[in-house]
Amino acid sequence: MSLIYPVTIPKWGLSMKEGKVNRWLAKIGDSIQVGAEVVAVESDKIAGVIEATGAGVLRRQIAKEDDVLPVGALLGLIADNEVADSDIDAFVAEFQSRFIPGQTEEAESAAGPETLKVLGRNISYLRRGDSGEVIFLIHGFAGDKNNWLFNHEVLAATNTVYALDLPGHGNSDKAIDDPSLEGFVRVIFGFADALKIGQLHLVGHSFGGATSLAAALQGTDRIKSVTVISSAALGKEIDAQYVRGLTRTNSRKELKALVGRLFANEGLVTRQLVEDLLRFKRLDGVQAALESILSAFLDGDQQRVVLSEKLANLAKPIRVIWGEKDRIIPASHAALAGADVHILPNAGHMVQMEAANEVNKLLQF
């Protein structure tokens, strides 16, 4: 029997309650492959694309463009042409009668972010999933665990996934005892110790990539693999003006322009994304924390630490993912000897957000 695949409003991150239908990318009657882009949706934080989870024909577009609908709401249906219209109508009626907006929300809110004392400081993290491999997601400079909102749930379907807020970031304590890469590596191992986690995989973005690579170089068997995304520490070049601006400005307008540089498509930057960054930057201690990382990280207008040569002798799987249009750290840095390298077109520095579906497909453990 042919299956009917519903297309629904996804939940991108803890705070997402509803999404706006921006544009249908497939027409009724279009043949749809698994992974094909079906509809563009926007949360208050970010715009994204929903892909088909099953193959067939787009039979119904239930939501109209500009509709604002709760997480989980039915947008459309994919099914083979041989599925009768009456079966599809019955499926819709059944779905709608069972659908209660906010129900998934409440079930999940029980498992919000948690806090752990690591080396005397509070580290905030979000855990999802409880099977397969243990994966740590490490965000970049001035980022936080929400940078993984498109990836975390997907990975957690088959793994146990922790997204951390590094010291000085997100909801973790803002004091940074040691702003060097080694200092952050100690926090990551300390975090794993506190949770009695043995072996794990690291996935790091940008500065978090540099931290992950530095952790792998410590020569322990604990790190099974490292995936770095638009990573620091693989070359000297970096948009130092961006990093300094991000540290020092508190103007909404300047921040918006800076955040735009993170994406190939600046239209993805919503008012809320900039507002959240502003709110983070206003917290006491954040300015000092970012300044301390900056002085350890930058040497003039270049990156101080380059780990590429040391990594050449590392007997561990390394996966490198980059956005071809990265304006912060050039994609040429992806050419790491011995690594499994993927350069994604039409994506900037925040590849894991901008090309989330492609990145998620690459993140196999």
With binding defined as CB under 8 A, does residue 171 bind other proteins? yes
End-to-end CA distance of the chain: 32
With binding defined as CB under 8 A, does residue 252 bind other proteins? yes
**Among residues 112, 198, 267, 300, the one that binds other proteins under rule CB under 8 A:** 112
* Spatial CA neighbour of 210 closest among 138, 290, 299, 118: 138
Name residues contacting other proteins, limited to 269-288 (CB under 8 A). Answer: 271, 279, 282-285
**Among residues 15, 22, 104, 308, the one that binds other proteins under rule CB under 8 A:** 15
CA distance 18 to 41: 10
φ, ψ of residue 59 to 5 degrees: the values are -95, -30
Taking every pair of Cα atoms in the chain, the longest distance, rounded to a whole number of angstroms, is 68
Stretch that binds other proteins, among 88-96, 192-200, 244-252, 295-303 (CB under 8 A): 244-252
* C-beta of 279 vs 310, nearer to other proteins: 279
Residue type for position 328: I
CA distance 195 to 177: 21
CA distance 354 to 356: 6
Min separation Cβ 15 and other proteins, Å: 8
Min separation Cβ 122 and other proteins, Å: 11
With binding defined as CB under 8 A, does residue 117 bind other proteins? no
**Among residues 14, 55, 57, 197, the one that binds other proteins under rule CB under 8 A:** 14
Instruction: Work out the angle at residue 119's Cα, subtended by the Cα atoms of residues 117 and 124, and round it to the nearest 5 degrees.
Output: 35
With binding defined as CB under 8 A, does residue 250 bind other proteins? yes
With binding defined as CB under 8 A, does residue 267 bind other proteins? no
CA distance 3 to 54: 8
Tell me the number of residues near other proteins by CB under 8 A. 16
The contact set with other proteins (CB under 8 A) reads 14-15, 109, 112, 171, 174, 250-253, 271, 279, 282-285
